[in-house]
Structure 1
Amino acid sequence: MKTIATYFFIAFNLLSVSASYAQNARFEKLDNGVIIYFSNHETNSTRALQLVVVDKKIIHVIKSPELPLVADTSLMILKNSSKTQFFVTNTNDEVTLSTAELKATVSLETGLVTFEDSAGIRLLREDNNVKNFKPTVIDAGQSWQVQQSFITPEDEAFYGLGQHQQGLMNYKGNIITLLQNNTEVAIPFLVSNKNYGILWDNYSITTFGDGRSYEPLNHLRLFDANENAGSLSATYVLKMDSSKIITKRNEDSIAYDYLSDLKNFPASFELGKGMVMWNGFIQSPYSGLHKFSFRYGGYIKAWLNDSLCLNEWRQCWNPEMTIIPFVMEAGRKYHIKLEWIPDGGESYISCNWLRPANDEEKRHFMLRSESADNVGYYLVYGEKTDDIISGYRQLTGKAPIVPIWALGFWQSRERYKTQQEVISTLKEFRKRQIPIDNIVLDWQYWEPDQWGSQQFDSSRFPDPFGMIDSLHHLYHSHMMVSVWPKFYKGIANYDLMNNKGFLLTRNIEENRKDWLGYVSTFYDAFNPEAAKVFWSLVYNNLYRKGVDAFWMDAPEPDIHSNLNIEQRKELMFPNALGSATKYFNAYPLVNAKAVYEGQRSVAPNKRIFTLTRSAYAGSQRYAAAVWSGDIGSRWHDMKNQISAGVNFSMSGIPYWTMDAGGFAVEHRYENAKGDDLQEWKELMTRWYQFGAFCPLFRVHGQFPYREIFNVSSPGEDAYESMLYYDQLRYRLLPYIYSMAAKSYLDDYTIMRGLIMDFPNDKNVIDINDEYLFGNSFLINPVYERDAVSRKVYLPSGDGWYNLYDGKYFEGGQNINAPAPYMRMPVFVKEGSIIPFGPALQYTGEKKADTISLFIYTGKNASFILYEDDGTTYNYEKGKYATITFNYNEAGKELTIQNRQGNFQGMLQKRIFNIYWIKKDKPLELKFDKKYDKEIVYKGQKLSIRMN
């Protein structure tokens, strides 16, 4: 029977056009929202504003500078068929659209939108300090630069926005550019600690911030070493003998960012042989906190006011940006000195600055994009961050459960050169009983001049099918293979794609050669037919040989490295969607779609898994995981991965990993001896400890080789620690796999910012070196050499147990946590139930017929153990099982509920060994210790009281 409310809703939506003539604005009620037309408007302002109800917690805002309003084509958003009930009310001054949980009010005078929750608490309000539209000309013709400004209270914090390498957790007061690049991933989804998120529906290069931009150094007042105004003193010397001066000159900027800038160095200066020193003084017209951005490859040292503020290294061919805050007083001179050693033939260096924010800028933030037809964004409301991320996935797609083997350990290197190297590596792992599930074959497995052939070089890989078959059946491992969207000119696959018009041809026309000396280009992934042909090549040449998963490298797209941004756009134009500017950031999304849809078409029930170097909003629905690119192998690089991974995870894509150990190394590590060798072992050990508590556990990098047995030897601390964490990872599979399932079923996030679980603890807002792994483990990577302890903040509201010895600590305090060489500080939240499985050599070795349940008492606790077949999509049809555990602190009782669901191959009986950890009874984490209680479980409810 239809309710009265249903009839009211139907009648409401049949109402004809209503109007309000205040300020010459009128509105229409639509089936899915409301549209407002502004006839008394300024040039380049909003002509039409539409509010679309997606869900009771999600409202889509569209603003158009022209009539009629036509929504942009969206690549990230799934079609929505929701029939959410809503109401529209109006006065002479405003129109309000309300759902059961969210209210959006539009001022008919200003066109600004204000969002409130159902209790009337303001979530977000647009600001009118900038116009939304600015006409521009792009590669495909006329367009609009678009922006939207919002008011922000002083205590607001921002997270998400993809993956960035500046060590920032909270983006408030910072400028973040969303631009796909090696190590930088653009995801236009912003999460606020004020119970909302914004999904910015745009694909062009976008800036988040308060309206400020980094400026060239010469926008400060510069003085050379002799205090003559106008420039800094630049001295070019030989690297091997700095007393031998090549040349001196004054420079008013340091701007050698891209290949095209390298010609601006002195003609007599060779990057591979020299070094540069800049010296002088800077003076600002502003007082307050300035920020200096240094983008560099090679070695850099920077002094501000004679204090060393930067001393780092980065591989020359993939520069990194570091932000240095520095307080300056208007009109005062400050000494600045830079020392730069290029460390390679193509090295980059630049320095820019950001002035202090004024009071007006501090009160708002904005999103600004290079190109769109409209301003479009989704306001997602949630009482918790998990709710907000759930809204993001409702819009852009679920994250499928990865095959269980992907949660085991992966070994990779750059690169295994032969079939024998692959097999012998796996054989060594098995011989030494080091757990592993996946080996990765990086680039150049093809013949040298056949990039894009998708074919193994038969001289080095004589029997690919036999190799992969033996990995599967003899060594119980999986194989992931690197697949690029790249084709060398003249190979058969190039001709096939080119003859169909499926290639981006500009790089060919420019005759640019890659690192190996060949001319190449990428396919047009925006073309659905090109994507199908690309998959057919992958299918016929790799998938049919038994390859389990694909490593989608360089999908930014990195058609030619270190070109400036305008040149990168040129290489992407024309494409099937028309504009490179408008769709600049979307290539990794459609590239992942090509493989996902292709593989699902030929093997619809085999779980797909891809690893990609870049992503965009929606990539998670294509089973895409992301790694953090070609990072450097230094301690600060390791630290920066913490906030990079956490913010990426809070951007809505749950599977993230990194090159544990870093990708590129300094020369001193390549054949390290003495102290360098000891540092390398320690760095690898600490990174390995960190990697074991990431959503995906993966080791990769250039020489030296990263296999445990190539880093260290049995009996050494490094070897034993890495082995310990590898084994612990496999013990934790019941916990980790349950988190993976929760990410699909409940839109959960595995790698969690502290703000997600402790929103009321103001101390966690800016913490960038801790995170939660699931909601029970507090992870604290050690990123300083020779550390034997590190500062750890234990969030308030809960107590914490040291994982290793069970010692209890009250929350809400900083402690100096023990961090001996072989252990990383890990704490378990009181009120946690942790299921540890059996020791394994690979995920499929045996079922978890015996599980050790560690109950961390002090508060009520619950855990849902999830299980399925681990490899198929049958879980989408409900073929899985869950067992819920509840611990009641008052009654000191654990209840194991009736098992729910079933699947083929499910264990009918298992043993649970119970371990009670109490504040006054520390318990060491050892699985050979006598348990407190053994329980035989056959699927029926059981209760166990603590002794």
Structure 2
Amino acid sequence: MHSVKGYGIFWDNYSTTQFEDNAAGASFTSEVGDGVDYYFIYGGNADGVIAGLRKLTGQAPMFPQWVFGYWQSRERYKSQQEVVGVLKKYRDLHVPIDGIVQDWQYWGVDEKQWNSTEFVGPGYPDPKSLIDSVHQLNAHIIISVWPSFGNKTKIWADMNNHGYLYNSYITWPINPAVQVYDVFNPKARDLYWSYMNKNIFALGMDGWWLDSTEPDHHKEKPGDENILTYDGSYRKMRNAYPLLHTQGVYEHQRETSDAKRVFILARSAFAGQQRNGTTVWSGDIRSDWKVLRNQISGGLNIGLSGIPYWNTDIGGFFENGFSRRGTKDPAYQELYVRWLQFGTFCPMMRSHGTDAPREIYQFGQKGYWAYDAIEKYINLRYRLLPYNYSNAWAVTSNNSTMLRALVMDFPKDEKALDINNEYLFGKAFLVCPVTDSMYTSKASAKTTFDVVKTQSVYLPKGTYWFDFWTGQQSVGGQTIEKQTPIDVLPLFVKAGSIIPMGPELQYAAEKKADQMEIRVYPGSDGSFTLYEDEGDNYNYEKGAYATINFKWDNLHQTLTIGKRKGAFSGMLKTRKFNIVLTGSKKESTVTYNGFPKLVHL
């Protein structure tokens, strides 16, 4: 719980807990506890509170650079040819992509073979070839693994022989032949990893989609709460399940190899899960405008809880409520485009869902409004890669948060405190996603763009704001109407911001940013630290990285590019920076070789 007075309360309890906040006051109540256990954190502001929480529960490590590219997924790709074919299609279309997901049932469709961790489905005759082919296309792949197993699998037999299964716990699929393992037992976590490592990681897999990390609990019986885990009753421990599940994978992969940074995508979280190299997603949500609207506030609350990496299924998981024409339905196309615009300004940009495939070419071809809007934002995501990766370093090195509720940066602006459909992405961008249909008739499902619609956007007070698309400047403390054609997301930049923009790319590691645009937004002093490293592995923990500090002096209209600090293998020693002063025609191109530069604009 945060207060605008600069303190927070962390209620340290794993059992089912109720939080209430009303005129009588705020309270936490948990079902089980050896005593009242909480921490008072005084940080001075929300960032300080989060820093204190991470000091208590763990710091967030760096993800690989490719994680911050574009991700395509589907429930589900049914063969290795299908996975590789999707990537080839993106490459043929020259649409950037870095990640693809292999969802469930690569182990086959027999529920008794559930989550065997083995590629036994008929579509996967050569899983090593699958992974190698993905890598040859300059992409990465993660795979779905669950905390439950069918009773015909080798891992189930091993877990059962050691007494590591919850025998009466009904999970997904709802089949008594499928059982959950006791994640609280460190030896059970060892055994779990041994199968993942032998059957999947050793083949070259890049990361993990840990589904059902709650885990799913169906047909719940009173006795289920009395199941004894390694650390006590399930009633006492249940909410920590995803924390221990991701911890087991993170720690074991780190022990196995430092060549790849751990990347885990998990459906649930508990306080401290950021230390396990985990991004959380919001689950199997519906394709609905109200659901899209609620994702914003949900993501902001995750960030305020100290967990910096979060995302949603772009377009919603269940494509229901539409005409069942899927991606050919203009009403769904409009929702998807707006959702993808929001996803561009989330820590992870990932399209996923069932019912209708979501690849860009499912929405038409170049020249069609939906396709063009999708392509525009994927390309923007890659141009912002230096900004996003540097903000990831700020998370790791300085306890920052990427998805920022307005209260974090404007605690004295009373109008900003209860706004939960806008946020800052990093400390520069003000994002206000469109969360309702503007151009498609709900009655006829026909789309028309004859009249450009607008959206109300509140600009927090105390600073100036620049329209990212037009460069127009507005004073804060007012609500404006922003024109929102289908390919325009209301997006503003705070005065004093410095935004590095890289070249257009087809994938994150395609080429070094030997020419980089540095956009300066005047009106206030400001600074930005550009971070770079080898892009993967853990050498950054040993000091193998470099930073360059940019400092804007608004009074003298000068940009100081500081001395480069640090070094790493493959680092650019000389490059060009094209400095652009937003809102003017002033710009300057400088050659930078690691020594300080002063640029007058």
- Superposition TM-score, scaled by structure 2 size: 0.95
> 1:828: which partner in 2?
493
The answer to whether 1:743 aligns with 2:395 is yes
Match runs of 1:315-334 below 5 Å: none
Equivalent position of 2:3 in the other structure: 192
Give the letter aligned to residue 202 of structure 1.
Answer: N
Letter in 2 for 1:697: M
Structure 1's 889 and 631: CA in aligned 2 closer, same or farther, altered over 3 A?
same
Q: Quick one: structure 1 residues 580 and 773, their matched pair in 2 at CA, closer, same or farther if it must change by over 3 Å?
A: same
Residue aligning to 1:538: 196
* Aligned-residue offset at 1:681: 0.7
C-alpha distance in 2 between matches for 1:887 and 1:513:
55
Task: Pick the aligned partner of 2:431 from 749, 759, 779.
Answer: 779
Letter in 2 for 1:603: S
In structure 2, what residue type is equivalent to 1:199?
Answer: F
| Alignment partner, residue 468 of structure 1 | 131
State the partner residue of 1:852.
Answer: 517
Q: CA deviation at 1:647?
A: 0.8
Aligned to 2:69: 408
Give the match for residue 499 of structure 1: 161
- Pick one of 247, 255, 261 that aligns with 1:601: 255
2: CA distance, partners of 1:899 / 1:492: 53
Give per-residue Cα distances to partners, 1:485-525, cap 9 Å, x unaligned: 11112322211110011111113xxxx68547562111110
Deviations 1:700-719 (A, max 9, x none): 00121111111232111111
Hey, what's the Cα distance between the residues in 2 that align with 1:381 and 1:712?
A: 52
One-letter amino acid of the counterpart of residue 151, structure 2: K
Partners of 1:888 and 1:911 lie apart in 2 by 21
Superposed displacement of residue 633, structure 1:
0.4
Tell me which residue corresponds to 2:141: 479
CA 1:532–1:909: 2 relative to 1, 3 Å: same
1:630 aligns with 2:261: no
Letter in 2 for 1:493: I
Structure 1 position 941 matched with structure 2 position 596? yes
Find the aligned partners of 1:397 and 1:719 in 2 and give their Cα distance. 41
* Residue aligning to 2:445: none
* Alignment correspondent of 1:392: 53
Contact 1:883 1:899 in 2 (8 A): yes
Deviation of the 1:696 alpha carbon: 0.6
Asked if residue 699 in structure 1 is aligned to residue 355 in structure 2, the reply is no
**Alignment counterpart, residue 528 of structure 1, candidates 170, 180, 186:** 186
Question: In structure 1, the residue corresponding to 2:365 is in which secondary structure?
Answer: coil
C-alpha distance after superposition, 1:663-714 (max 9, x if no partner): 01216443349xx811011011000111000011111001211111112321
| Percent identity over paired residues | 45
The offset of 1:193, in angstroms, is 1.2
Who is 1:422 aligned against? 83
Shift of 1:746: 0.2
Which structure has more RCO (C-alpha within 8 Å, separation ≥ 6)? 2
Structure 2 Cα separation of the partners of residues 594 and 707 of structure 1: 33
Secondary structure of the residue aligned to 1:745 is: helix
Distance in 1 (CA, whole Å) between partners of 2:324 and 2:66 is 31
Mind listing any 5+ residue stretches in structure 2 that lack a counterpart? Answer: 440-452
Amino acid at match of 1:690: F
Q: Which residue of 2 aligns with 1:445?
A: 106
SS in 2 for 1:637: helix
Q: How many Å apart are 1:201 and its aligned residue?
A: 1.1
Q: Is the 8 A contact 2:106 2:121 kept in 1?
A: no
Amino acid paired to 1:465 = K
Q: What is the CA–CA distance in structure 1 between the aligned matches of 2:9 and 2:29, rounded to whole Å? A: 13
Shift of 1:903: 1.1
For residues 540 and 216 of structure 2, the distance between their equivalents in structure 1, rounded to whole angstroms, comes to 36
Q: 1:565 to 1:393 in 2, by over 3 A?
A: farther
For 1:504-519, list aligned pairs within 5 A.
504-507=166-169, 514-515=172-173, 519=177
CA contact (8 A) 1:203 1:585 kept: yes
From 522, 526, 546, the equivalent of 1:881 is: 546
How far is the alpha carbon of 1:733 from its aligned partner?
0.5
Structure 1's 568 and 712: CA in aligned 2 closer, same or farther, altered over 3 A?
farther
- Supply the distance in 1 between the matched residues of 2:264 and 2:564 (Cα, whole angstroms): 32
**1:669/1:704 contact within 8 Å kept:** no
What SS class does the counterpart of residue 37 from structure 2 fall into?
strand
State yes or no: 1:648 paired with 2:302. yes
Partner SS for 2:362: helix
> In structure 2, do the counterparts of structure 1 residues 366 and 724 end up closer, same or farther at CA, with 3 Å as the change threshold?
same
State the 1:917 CA deviation: 1.3
Flag the 1:513–1:503 CA change in 2: closer, same or farther, 3 A: closer
Q: Equivalent residue for 1:130? A: none
Distance (whole Å) between structure 2 residues aligned to residue 893 and residue 535 of structure 1 = 54
SS state at 1:413 partner: coil
Q: Secondary structure at the match of 1:192?
A: coil
- Give the letter for the 2:138 counterpart: H
2:453 is aligned with 1:801: no
Residue matched to 2:208: 550
Is the partner of 2:254 in helix, strand or coil? helix
The CA distance in 2 between the partners of 1:458 and 1:557, in whole Å, is 24
Provide structure 1 residue ranges, at least 5 long, that are not aligned to the other structure: 1-189, 211-360, 924-930
What is residue 385 of structure 2 aligned with on the other side? 733
CA offsets per residue over residues 694-749 of structure 1, 9 Å max, x none?
01111100121111111232111111111010000000010000000000000000
Q: 1:470, CA displacement in angstroms?
A: 1.1
Which structure has the larger Rg over C-alpha atoms?
1
Report Cα offsets for 1:791-837 as digits up to 9, x if no partner.
10000001111101101111000011111111111000111111000
Equivalent in the alignment of 1:908:
573
Q: Following the alignment from structure 1 to structure 2, what is the Cα–Cα distance between the partners of residues 430 and 488?
A: 38
Please give the per-residue CA displacement for 1:873-919, whole angstroms capped at 9, x wherever unaligned: 1111222111001111111111101111111111100100011113x
8 Å CA contact 1:413–1:702 kept in 2: the answer is yes
- Mapped to 2, the partners of 1:536 and 1:559 lie a distance apart of 25
Partner of 1:898: 563
Q: Is the 8 A contact 1:800 1:810 kept in 2?
A: yes
Distance 1:685 1:513 in 2: 34
What is the aligned partner in structure 2 of residue 305 from structure 1? none
Question: Which residue of the other structure, out of 742, 753, 776, is the alignment partner of 2:405?
Answer: 753
Match of 1:764 in 2: 416
- State the AA in 2 paired with 1:824: L
Q: Residue in 2 aligned with 1:864? A: 529
Task: Give matches, 1:569-584, under 5 Å.
Answer: 569=225, 573-584=227-238
Residue 735 of structure 1 aligns to a residue whose secondary structure is: helix
**Kept after mapping to 2: 8 A contact 1:522/1:559:** no
For the 8 Å contact 2:502–2:517, the answer to whether it is kept is: yes
Deviation string, structure 1 residues 335-355 (Cα, Å, up to 9, x no partner): xxxxxxxxxxxxxxxxxxxxx
1:940 & 1:401 partners in 2: Cα distance? 27
The aligned counterpart of 1:98 is: none
For the aligned residues, what is the CA RMSD? 1.5
Q: CA deviation at 1:541?
A: 0.7
Distance (whole Å) between structure 2 residues aligned to residue 530 and residue 629 of structure 1: 26
* C-alpha deviation, 1:606, in angstroms: 2.4
Compute the displacement of 1:447 (Å): 1.6
Aligned to 2:318: 664
Match of 1:721 in 2: 373
Query: 1:198: Cα distance to partner?
Result: 1.1
User: How far does residue 456 in structure 1 lie from its aligned partner after superposition?
Assistant: 1.1
Q: Cα distance, 1:387 vs. partner?
A: 0.9
- Relative to its length, the structure with more strand (as a share) is 1
SS at match of 1:792: strand
